[in-house]
Structure 1
Amino acid sequence: MKDVANDIYGIKYEKDYTAKTEEPATQEEFDQIMDNPPTKETRGIRLVAREEDETFLMAGYSTHLYQLGLNSEKDYARYNIENKPVIGYKYAYRGKITGIAFQTPHMVMHSDERTSLVLRTKPVSAFSVKLFYEDNTTATFEFLSSKLSTRFGGGFKLTPLSYFDGWLLIDHSYYSDTFTLSGPYNR
């Protein structure tokens, strides 16, 4: 778990789907991206900073929309926003770390190491999101979690919640053997 704590903090560019490692970024590069409207060429960037009393800040710009679970008209309707082509989104969240858990017990690299993790936090602020559409409009909303449960007799049931539960996904890179705090744990 010490490796997780060492890896998730800092300022890094968002990894492309084919990249094997994350590229570090500077505070100036982060500020430049966050202070200006993005274009299709704007790279994703993330800042994760420790604050006091186990509280941390997570902020950035991402082009990976799947992390928000915006996959259908129904998903967009849940937030009362338009479903049209998106360039990316900016986000910010403050939380207090309450624990870390395995995403699912069977997700293992080998017999003594599990790598699919969920960081559990208590929200200090909402997980705020601002979408940037290709037509130069924007939409702002607070991310809402969902609860996944098994049904008696088989199958799964997804129940939308009216709040963010504070669960965040920690991804592991097999290539660089590093961990990344990637966004809300989207069930």
Structure 2
Amino acid sequence: MLLNSFKKSKIECGTDEAGRGCLAGPVTAASVILTSQFKSDLLNDSKIVKSTNRNILKKIIEKEAITFSVAHIFNEEIDKINILNASILGMHKAINQLLIIPEHILVDGNRFKPYLDIPHLCIIKGDGKYLNIAAASILAKTYRDEFMNLIHEEFPMYNWKQNKGYPTKEHRAAIQKYGVTKYHRLSFKLLPDQLKLEL
């Protein structure tokens, strides 16, 4: 059972991102403030929650959260500032868009930069430990998936509806055959011959 939050006496947001390891599309971050009474046996790290359950949880979180926000950082920005900085920027933007200013920030992972003067704590695998981070991971994943499904219609040959921009063999083969699109991250190793050691 996941814990509701870390700082029980503070207004705390959980924040997380999705799409960091993709070759195309944005990195998407979310931030969520839950009520202290919020409970869910279904909610967990978005990577281990089934797609149908993620969409159910998305509606529950949006309905029951005190406030939530989602922010995309697109591939052009990722290429300029690198994926780590883009991920942190996305989390900052998501926190900035919350309707309530949090008193404490709980971050999934081990890297973050201070946001204003609000204390923060990084938790490795936090999306499997705290409900507010898990809720942020669900929103980041579902909103990003929706965006990738949308741009799949524009470039169906890359099958983003299925791979969501991740570096599958099929996706790399499509890049080799058709080249790159306006959604690809040009600073990433895109082609199979660049990734011989990883294949």
TM-score by length of 2: 0.25
Bigger proportion of residues as strand: 1
What is the TM-score normalised by the length of structure 1? 0.26
